[in-house]
Amino acid sequence: MAHPALDPATARVLISNDDGIHAPGLKVLEKVARRLFREVWVVAPESEQSAASHSLTMRRPLYLRPAGRRRFTVDGTPTDCVLIAIHQVLKDRPPDLVLSGINRGGNLGEDATYSGTVAAAMEGTLLGIRSVALSQLYADGGEAPWATADRWCEEVIRRLSDFEWPKGVLLNVNIPAVSAAEVLGIEITRQGRHKIGGTMIEGVDPRGKPYFWIAGERQQDKGLAGTDLAAVHAGAVSITPFCLELTHKASMGALAALFR
Ligand code: MN
């Protein structure tokens, strides 16, 4: 079963992210979405929630605050934002599309499982809405090339309006760290895998206690052919379809035999 076609003239679009309401990538995505769709809403975290994954805030109340026309903040995670947007802000009519991002930095390989950007799209998908996570890579020490994000996120989202979107599938889009003109094109990829290690710093705090600090970004990693990592390394936009069904079906027979 697939979603009905997306009509840009009538579609209602919800935007969220994990970098927070003030993030430059959110503003880029709002601009892109407003060029493509008539009705765009933003419900984004009040503060940065990168690596929040799919966490839900359950032990304290959440506050929804206005932040402009059709714009709100929530003092919670990206998942909280999408839930409150769909159950409260847009309860008269659910959105036809959820866009999450544009994240500052890639969400490639297993990093997608930590990502708050991807989680907002996961939540949209669980609530039955077609959803896209968008991330812009950047070179070490530099600002993200937002003009590249602007040009290529528009291209991807515009062309997706013809996609026969299966239920339960979200799209993880990564834009390479090159100028808009240098992008080689769009590749459909599978989720890759980074090399292991090298992401933690050890130190001693001012009171003499040793600590560990997990680094945010991994080394650039070329990845295997056909993966998200390989595509962006080569300078192409990567689109990976994800599903939320986690079952490894091939193992079921052997396990069933073992536990008979
Ligand atoms: Mn982020």
Neighbours of ion ligand 1 (CB under 5 A): 18-19, 50, 103
**Centre of ligand 1 from the C-alpha of residue 51, in Å:** 7
**Centre of ligand 1 from the C-alpha of residue 107, in Å:** 9
Per-residue pLDDT, 218: 61
Per-residue pLDDT, 29: 98
**Centre of ligand 1 from the C-alpha of residue 259, in Å:** 42
Q: What is the pTM of this model?
A: 0.94
**Centre of ligand 1 from the C-alpha of residue 48, in Å:** 7
Per-residue pLDDT, 166: 94
**Centre of ligand 1 from the C-alpha of residue 110, in Å:** 15
Per-residue pLDDT in tens (0 to 9) along the chain, 260 residues: 678 788 888 999 999 999 999 999 999 999 999 999 999 999 999 999 988 899 999 999 999 999 999 999 999 999 999 999 999 999 999 999 999 999 999 999 999 999 999 999 999 999 999 999 999 999 988 899 999 999 999 999 999 988 999 999 999 999 999 999 999 999 999 999 987 666 788 999 999 999 999 876 665 677 789 999 999 999 999 999 999 999 999 999 999 999 99
**Centre of ligand 1 from the C-alpha of residue 243, in Å:** 21
**Centre of ligand 1 from the C-alpha of residue 154, in Å:** 20
Per-residue pLDDT, 196: 66
**Centre of ligand 1 from the C-alpha of residue 135, in Å:** 8
**Centre of ligand 1 from the C-alpha of residue 161, in Å:** 26
All structural domains of the chain, each given as residue ranges with its CATH number in brackets, are 12-194+221-258 (3.40.1210.10)
**Centre of ligand 1 from the C-alpha of residue 102, in Å:** 8
- Which DSSP string do the residues of the chain spell out, in sequence order? -BPPPP-TTT-EEEEE-SS-TT-HHHHHHHHHHHHH-SEEEEEEESS--TT-TT----SS---EEE-STTEEEESS-HHHHHHHIIIIITTTS--SEEEEEEEES---GGGGGT-HHHHHHHHHHHTT-EEEEEEE---TTSPP-HHHHHHHHHHHHHHHTT---BTTEEEEEEE-SS-GGG---EEE-B---PPS---EEEEE-TTS-EEEEE-SSPPP----TTBHHHHHHHT-EEEEEEES----GGGHHHHHHHT-
**Centre of ligand 1 from the C-alpha of residue 19, in Å:** 4
**Centre of ligand 1 from the C-alpha of residue 70, in Å:** 22
**Centre of ligand 1 from the C-alpha of residue 207, in Å:** 31
